[in-house]
Amino acid sequence: MNPLRKTIGSLAFHLLVAGIGLVMIYPILWLAASSFKSETEIWRTVSSLIPQEFTLKHYSNGWKGFGGITFTTFYKNSLIYAGIGTLAAVATSAFVAFGFARIPFAGKRFWFTGMLITLMLPVQIQVIPQYIFFTQLGWVNTFYPLLLPRFLGQAGQAFFIFMMVQFIRTIPYELDEAAVMDGVGRIGIFSRIILPLIKPALVTSGIFSFYWTWADFLTPLIYLNSPELYTVSVALRTFADPSGTTDWGAIFAMSFLSLVPVLIVFFLFQRHIVEGISTTGLKG
Amino acid sequence: MSARGKVRALPKRRENLLMGYFFISPWLLGFIGLTLIPILSIFYLGFTSYDIFSAPQFLGLQNFKKMFTDDPRYAQSVGATLYFAFVSVPLKLFFALAVAMLLNTKHRFIGVYRAWFYAPSILGTSVAVAVMWREIFGSDGLINTFLSALGYDVQIAWLGDPTFAIWTLILLVVWQFGSPMLIFLAGLKQIPKELYECSYIDGASWWRRFVCITLPMLSPVVFFNLIMQMIFQLTVFTQPFIVTQGGPMGTTNFYALYLYRRAFESFQMGYGAAMAIILVLAVAAFTGIIFKSGTFWVHYETKEGR
């Protein structure tokens, strides 16, 4: 091809794609920029992405939270939920996936199909009976209803189990057989051979589990009633209530701040995320 | 050696059965206790009146009768949800496929662009993004500022307008086309290059290549994305809850939001359960229709046996 035409074509491509990309991330940049603008500037220079007067005041104001409870508490609650929830989800999923991938037992196909069907179940079908169940246990206004499903492979973990099963199936059986010769039992095969080899799948599951729990809104909204237990997402909703505060700077600051952990994880593990979605269709 | 002896001592099949159920037991327990029993019990709760404080009272079909004949907000909610899903899903998949095809080319920085386009999706259904969207479409927000800079000083209250409000939510969902885009991109990479090379020799046009090669080869991926997105958009909750609070005049009071309000704000668990039954039947019906229609348009490579 003509080199000049090629250069022009490539330039047009980059202009087009970068243009679309700019439109895509503009809202997020705008949110970030607004959180650093002074109060008078926020609604005056709306389209500008560069604050004329850079201020961190909204962050210190916003952090104070509401009702005497600061965002320190909300972040602590979110970390409990996302941290314990993610560890539990990854551990349980790997354990269960090993059973499905490596052990032939009666009823396996039936249960595996059942698990795949749960991938398509909307949460709305379970949420009311689960709420009634947890109310009867006296667990409303505790973290147990949020965490228990994650120890038991529910709440979307069928995705992780499925992904890990696919991953384990690619590991040659000879490794298991060699271990059996050495007198290693099933649990040993799982923990010493399979687990180290499926590290990429563990990382991908961990990232998505972190995202889902961090952003989860419905479950904490239903189960956590006292503000001291609010996670960041539920706290943000109260904090940004349009009929309440009008400290827009603080609302922008706290909103942007809550996205920062997600963005950091995204930039650190971008490749894992892309591969996870591309191979299993995990929802983002 | 003793461990090996023990394994040998148990008959292989019984040992497998025990160990198999041992490993899947956490999931199995959760599946039965937190998924299966709830699903079964909803088919009882839906026929009762239950406020969680006193015992459920059996009503027969009354909840359903009320829903279909005597609850205008329900009818409006169903209409709004269907409108939302049927507009947003095709738009989202269209953008996802278009951008995936743009990125499925040999250029520099493709990886950077891919991450860039995916970023809005990873922020996903978070409350922060919904709050941001509310302010973007506020009367002093970004959209009106841009419009007036372009010479259209309209000052539309996007979120307060019964026609526009639903479109702000459609835009929000379409903006997050990243994950179907990545799935399309992975699918596009699977299409054998030889297929295209032949078509170049035959002098086929871009459109013909797209319709005759790309779309059929990609149809299983389209199929998957269509089902998943349909389920997500029929049950969308956080975005309408935060951005429009179901308003104005109930035009964005989507199904999952209305269900939440009935069940958890008015504590009408029975009515909520009845709504959930209809929702799951509707989702099953849509999925069934897509599956059935799939035999006509989903093309599977028989050789690979996918």
Q: What is the pLDDT of residues B194-220, one digit of tens each?
A: 888 877 777 778 888 888 888 888 888
CB B239 within 8 A of CB B169: yes
Q: Quote the mean pLDDT of chain A.
A: 89
- The predicted pLDDT at position B5 comes to 46
Shortest CA distance from B260: residue in chain A: A124
d(CA A27, CA A244): 24
**Interface contact A149-B231, CB threshold 8 A:** no
Over range A74-83, report the average pLDDT: 95
Spatial distance between the Cα atoms of A174 and A190, rounded to a whole number of angstroms: 14
Query: Residues of A with CB below 8 A from B259's CB?
Result: 124
Least confident range of A158-167, A237-246, B124-133, B165-174: A237-246
Q: Has residue B306 got a pLDDT over 50?
A: no
Smallest Cβ–Cβ distance between B238 and the set A154, A217, A267 belongs to A217
Contact A25 B120 (CB under 8 A): yes
Which residues are CB-contacts of A277 (< 8 A; sequence separation ≥ 6)? A284, B179, B182, B183
Q: Is the pLDDT of residue A105 over 70?
A: yes
Q: Do B17 and A279 touch (CB under 8 A)?
A: no
**Which of A276-279's residues contact partners 24+ apart within 8 Å by CB, and which partners?**
A276/A163, A276/A204, A276/A205, A276/A207, A276/A208, A277/B179, A277/B182, A277/B183, A278/B182, A278/B183, A278/B185, A278/B186, A279/A163, A279/A166, A279/B186
Interface contact A259-B145, CB threshold 8 A: no
Q: Which of A284, A180, A130, A99 is nearest to B17 (CA)?
A: A99
Mean pLDDT of A117-141: 91
Tens-digit pLDDT profile for residues B61-100: 999 999 999 999 999 999 999 999 999 999 999 999 999 9
The type of residue at A267 is F
Residue A281: per-residue pLDDT: 67
Q: Does B122 touch chain A (CB under 8 A)?
A: yes
**Global pTM?**
0.89
Q: Check if the beta carbon of residue A30 is closer than 8 Å to that of residue A48.
A: no
Exposed e or buried b per residue across B232-262, where buried means at least 16 C-beta atoms within 10 angstroms of its C-beta: bbbbbbbbbbbbbbbebebbbbbbbbbbbbb
Min Cα distance B293 → chain A (Å) is 18
Domain range summary for chain B, segments of one domain joined by +: 2-45, 62-297
A29-53: average pLDDT: 83
The whole-number pLDDT of residue A115 equals: 93
What pLDDT score does A1 carry? 56
Compute the count of residue pairs across chains A and B with CB atoms less than 8 Å apart.
Answer: 280
- The enclosing H or E element of A214 equals helix A199-215
Q: Which residues does chain A have within 8 Å of residue B4's beta carbon, measured at their own beta carbons? A: 180, 183
Confidence of residue A283 (pLDDT cuts 50, 70, 90): low
Chain A contact set for B132 (CB, 8 A)? 27-28, 30-31, 252, 255
pLDDT band at B304 (very low <50, low <70, confident <90, very high): very low
d(C-alpha B98, C-alpha A126), whole Å: 36
**pLDDT of B178 strictly over 70:** yes
CA distances (Å), B162 to each of A224, B159, B244, B250, in order?
Answer: 32, 8, 11, 8
What is the predicted pLDDT for the residue at B216?
87
B128 with A259: Cβ contact below 8 A: yes
- Confidence label for B8 from pLDDT (cuts 50, 70 and 90): low
Instruction: State the Cα–Cα distance between residues A86 and A208, nearest whole angstrom.
Output: 9
Taking residues A28-32, report their average pLDDT: 90
Q: Which of residues 24-83 of B touch A (CB under 8 A)?
A: 24, 26-31, 33-35, 37-39, 41-42, 45, 50, 52
CB B27 to CB A153 under 8 A? yes
pLDDT at B10: 60
What length is written for chain A? 284
Q: What is the fold, at CATH topology level, of the domain defined by B62-297?
A: MetI-like fold (1.10.3720)
Element (H or E) spanning B34, and its range? Answer: none
Nearest by CB to residue B26, choosing from A111, A151, A217, is A151
Please tell me which residue, A278 or B266, carries the higher pLDDT value: B266
Topology annotation, domain A68-280: MetI-like fold (1.10.3720)
- Provide the H-helix boundaries in A64-107: 71-102
Question: What average pLDDT does this structure show over B174-181?
Answer: 90
Chain A residues with CB under 8 Å of B7 CB are: 180, 185
CB spacing of A279 vs B34 below 8 angstroms: no
Q: What is the pLDDT of residues A184-225, one digit of tens each?
A: 888 999 999 899 999 988 998 998 899 899 999 999 999 999
Q: How confident is the model at residue A282 (pLDDT cuts 50, 70, 90)?
A: low
- What percent of chain A has a predicted confidence (pLDDT) above 70? 97
Decide if pLDDT at A95 tops 70: yes
Q: How far apart are the CA of A79 and the nearest CA of chain B, in angstroms?
A: 15
Question: Whose CA is closest to A70, among A216, A217, A214, A239?
Answer: A239
Interface check B151 vs A, CB under 8 A: no
